[in-house]
Structure 1
Amino acid sequence: MAVAVREINGVELEQLIAEGKVLADFYSKVCGPCKMLSFVLNDVAKNVDNVEIVKLDFDENKETVEKYGVVGYPTLILFNNGQEVERLKGLQQKPIIQRMIER
């Protein structure tokens, strides 16, 4: 079963990561690689069901960006039960993201 990629804010992220596995995409609306990554994440979402995939606007979630030490975009952070498991910076390809989620 597929999951849907959805946009959330920092408060929602804190609630989600406490409950299970979450892949958070920190992005900017003006970033070319971020836009390309959105297409990749939508494709990844079609093939996974054990993770929530969410997007957080870098500029609208400054507190959360600072809390997790995100210094550039796009940045993907995989959380599992409230803990950061892995982090990828920059545009990533589908196989790399899927391997990250499956670990």
Structure 2
Amino acid sequence: MIKEITSFEEFNELSKSGKVLVDVYSKTCGPCKMLGFVLADLEKDLPDSVILKVDFDQNKEVVEKYDVASYPTILVLQDGEEVNRLKGLQQKPALKQLLEA
């Protein structure tokens, strides 16, 4: 499931349910747009996974909580706690490995 986050409360609720991949992006960022296609393809392979999309400019609470300085940034959370972080455009195999680990 890919879910666009619209509030900090929604993020907190959804990010505490097991392993969650968080894509912190900007609508004006080229690599971020390309990553969106990678995540859509990843969702086809792992339909039970939770992928949250967080707009860097619209969700300052999330950006500050996880000290995100650039985009795209991928956070992997386990029950709300950060367990991994990748910066920049990532390929599907690397992201799939993070979610399956």
TM-score by length of 2: 0.93
Q: 1:15 aligns with which of 9, 13, 19?
A: 13
- Tell me how far 1:54 sits from its aligned partner: 1.1
Aligned residues with identical type, % of pairs: 53
* Structure 1 gaps, min length 5: none
Q: Among residues 2, 5, 15, which one is paired with 1:5 in the alignment? A: 2
3-state SS in 2 of match to 1:46 = helix
SS at match of 2:13: helix
**CA drift at 1:42:** 0.2
Q: 1:81 deviation in Å? A: 1.1
- Corresponding residue for 2:32? 34
- State the shift of 1:48 in Å: 0.8
Superposition map of 1:3-82 within 5 A: 4-9=1-6, 10-82=8-80
Gaps of 5+ in 2: none
Distance 1:59 1:87 in 2: 19
Farther off after superposition, 11-20 or 88-97 = 11-20
Which deviations, in whole Å up to 9, do the C-alpha atoms of 1:11-36 show, x marking residues without a partner? Answer: 21111122221111000000000000
Alpha-carbon distance between aligned partners in 1 of 2:10 and 2:100, rounded to the nearest angstrom: 23
Which deviations, in whole Å up to 9, do the C-alpha atoms of 1:51-85 show, x marking residues without a partner? 20110100000121011000000001011112111
Is the contact made by 1:21 and 1:50 (CA closer than 8 Å) also made in structure 2? no
Separation (CA, whole Å) in 2 of partners of 1:13 and 1:86? 17
